[in-house]
Amino acid sequence: MKKTINILLLSLSGMLLACEGFLDPKPDQGLLAPDSLDDVQLLLDNTDVFNRQAFLVNVSADDFRTTSEAYQGMNVLEQGAYLWLDDPYQGSNILDWEVAYRQVFYANVALETLDNFSGPESERADQLRGMALFYRSYAYYQLLQQFAPAYQRDGGNEELLGIILREQADINDASQRASLAESYEALLGDLELAVGLLPTTQEPKTRPTKAAGYALLAKVHLLRFDFEQAGEAAVRALENYPDRLDLNEINVSTLRPFERFGPETIFYSILHSHAFSRGTQTYVDSLLIQSYEPGDLRKEAYFNLREEGLYNMTGHHTGSTLVFGGLTVGELQLIAAESFARMGNEALALTYLNDLLENRYHREDWEPLEGLVGNELMDRILLERRKELMGRGIRWTDLRRLNQEEEFKKELVREIDGQEFRLEPESPAYVFPIPDNEVIRSGVEQNPR
C-alpha cells in the first residue's frame, strides 16, 4: 500500500510540475485517484504540499531591511518583491502561486474521493473531509493576501477581482477569477464546514484541528473588519486549545529557543525558503527592535545581535532556520484583544492582552497593564501584533487592512545604492501580479501595477 501511495503522490506531483504553469492543461488524472480512506490520509499528510505558504509577502513588508551589498546578491524574485517593482518576477516561476494551487488540487482530489466513499468509518471520513476543506481554505487565504486586493472595509468587494476558485479536481476546467466577495464566501464556506468536522486534537500539528479551523476563521473575519465574529472565533479557538507557552520557562538565550510543534503552535506551516530569510545582512527594522521594552523576553528569544544595533531574526517556532508561518496562541490572543477593543469592550480586550504579555515578560519585570482605553489601548494592541507576529508573513496583510484607516496608514521606504523606493498606502503594488504564464494560458485579467 505504501509503495502504491508513493507512486500516486509522485504521479500527481509530476503532473502538476510537468508544464510551465500549474494551471496548464494536464493529462487525465482519473486512474491516479486514491480509492480508500488510508489513501486519502496519506494524500493529506503530504507536508511538502500542504504545510508550506507564501514567502514573498515577507520580503515586501516592513519587518526587515537589507543592505545595498546584500541586495545585489538576492535573486530576481527577492529583489522585485523587496522594491515593489512593476515586474517583480522577471520571468521566474512563482512558488507562492504554484504551491497554493497545488494544495487546492490535492484537497479537491481528496474531497472527490470522499464524495464516493461508502463504508463503516464515517467518522474518520468526516474528519478527513474537514482536513481537506481546511487545507483548501488555507490555500485560498494565502492567495487572497497576495494576488487579490485587500478586503475593503467600505464595501465594493463584489466589483473587485478575487482569485481563481477551484472546486473540483478537473484541472482542464477553464480559469476565471471570481469576485473578491465570492472568493471570501468560498473560503468561509469551506472553513465553516471544516470546523464542524475536524477533531479536537490530532497529531502531529501539521494536521489541522478544530482550534486551527477557528483560528483561521478569526484571521479571515479580522481582515474583513467583522470584529464580532473575529473575536468569537478567536475565543473558541483558545477554548479548544488549552496549551500556553511561557517564555520564562525556556532558555531564550539560545540561538534556537523554540521547539518544533511546541505548545505555542496550533497549526504548523512554514514559509517557502528564500535566501533573504537566512541572510546575515537581513536586519530587523530598527524602530521595531527599539519597541521591545526592558524585560520583554521576545527580543532575546526572536533575535540575535549581529553587530551594534543590528539584529537578525533567528528564533522561529520551527526550531530551525525554517521560517514559521502557522497559527499560534499569541496571534489569537491579539485578535481577541483587537476585536473586543474595536467593539468597545475594553476591559475584556485588556484581559486578553495581559494574558499574552504575562507570558512574554520576565516575571520580575511584569506588571499587568491597567487603564488603557481608546486610542492608547488600540495602539498598544497593534504594537504587540508587530512585536509578537513579526517575520511570519502576517505583516503584509496587516498593512493592507490598516492602510484603510487614516490613523494607521503608513508609507514604506527603502534605500538601495542611494536611491529611494516608496510604497504608498494606496499603491496597487500591494497586490502582486498574476504570474505571466497563467495570464497567457487562460486569459484571466491581470492585476494593475
Strands (E), 54-200: 64-66, 161-164, 177-179
Question: For residue 307, what is the enclosing H or E element?
Answer: strand 303-307
pLDDT per position as a tens digit, 60-73: 999 999 999 999 99
Q: What pLDDT does 32 receive?
A: 57
User: How far apart are the C-alpha atoms of 72 and 212, rounded to whole Å?
Assistant: 39
Residue 403 sits at the vertex; the CA angle it makes with 400 and 409, to the nearest 5 degrees, is: 140
Q: What pLDDT does 14 receive?
A: 41
- Judge whether 221 and 229 are in contact, CB under 8 Å: yes
Q: What is the mean pLDDT of the chain?
A: 92
User: How far apart are the C-alpha atoms of 278 and 272, rounded to whole Å?
Assistant: 12
Q: What pLDDT does 294 receive?
A: 95
pTM of the prediction? 0.93
- Cell numbers 484571521 correspond to 219
User: How far apart are the C-alpha atoms of 192 and 216, rounded to whole Å?
Assistant: 10
In the chain the domains, ranked by start, together with CATH numbers, are 2-250+324-442 (1.25.40.390)
Q: Are strands 265-267 and 270-271 parallel, antiparallel or unpaired?
A: unpaired
User: How far apart are the C-alpha atoms of 259 and 247, rounded to whole Å?
Assistant: 12
271: amino acid identity, one letter: L
Q: List C-alpha distances in Å: 291 to 126, 258, 345.
A: 46, 22, 26
pLDDT per position as a tens digit, 204-241: 999 999 999 999 999 999 999 999 999 999 999 999 99
What are 77's three cell numbers?
A: 524574485
Q: Which portions of the chain are predicted below pLDDT 70?
A: 1-33, 171
pLDDT per position as a tens digit, 116-161: 888 888 999 999 999 999 999 999 999 999 999 999 999 999 999 9
